[in-house]
Amino acid sequence: MANRTDPAAKSIHGTNPQNLVEKILRSKIYQNTYWKEQCFGLTAETLVDKAMELDHLGGTYGGSRKPTPFMCLILKMLQIQPDKEIVVEFIKNDEYKYVRVLGAFYMRLTGSVTDVYRYLEPLYNDYRKLRLKLSEGKFCLTHVDEVIDELLTKDYSCDIALPRVQKRWTLEACGLLEPRRSALEDDFEEEEEKEEEEQAMDSVEDDTHEKNYYRGRSPIRERDRDRRRDRQYRDRDYERDYGRGRERDRDRDRDRDRERDRDKDRDRDRDRERDRHRLRDDRDYGRERERERDREGRERERRDRERGRRRSRSRSRSRDRRDRDHEDGDHRKRRTRGSVSPRRRPEDDGSTRDEPKKKKEKKEKKSDGTDHPDPEIAEANRLRASLGLKPLK
Partner 1 sequence: MIEVVLNDRLGKKVRVKCNDDDTIGDLKKLVAAQTGTRADKIRIQKWYNVYKDHITLKDYEIHDGMGLELYYS
In the complex, the residues that contact partner 1 under the rule CB under 8 A are: 24, 60, 63, 65, 135, 156, 159, 376-377, 380, 383-384, 387, 389-390, 392-393
Measured CA to CA, the distance from residue 344 to residue 216 in angstroms comes to 24
Is 24 or 184 the residue whose CB approaches partner 1 more closely? 24
Measured CA to CA, the distance from residue 348 to residue 341 in angstroms comes to 13
Q: What pairs with residue 157 in β-bridges?
A: 160
Q: How far is the CB of 154 from partner 1 (least distance, A)?
A: 12
Q: How far is the CB of 60 from partner 1 (least distance, A)?
A: 8
131, 143 in Cβ contact below 8 A? no
Q: How far is the CB of 25 from partner 1 (least distance, A)?
A: 9
Is 86 or 385 the residue whose CB approaches partner 1 more closely? 385
Backbone angles phi, psi at 129, to 5 degrees: -85, 150
State whether residue 298 is helix, strand or coil: helix
167, 92 in Cβ contact below 8 A? no
Residues 6+ apart with CB under 8 A from 125: 145, 183
139, 55 in Cβ contact below 8 A? no
Q: Which pairs from 247-256 meet CB under 8 Å and 24+ separation?
A: 247/200, 250/275, 250/278, 251/196, 251/200, 251/203, 254/207, 255/210
Is 159 or 207 the residue whose CB approaches partner 1 more closely? 159
Is 66 or 76 the residue whose CB approaches partner 1 more closely? 66
Q: How far is the CB of 24 from partner 1 (least distance, A)?
A: 6
Q: How far is the CB of 123 from partner 1 (least distance, A)?
A: 26
Is 313 or 390 the residue whose CB approaches partner 1 more closely? 390
Q: How far is the CB of 27 from partner 1 (least distance, A)?
A: 11
Q: What is the largest CA-CA distance in the chain?
A: 92
Is 80 or 380 the residue whose CB approaches partner 1 more closely? 380
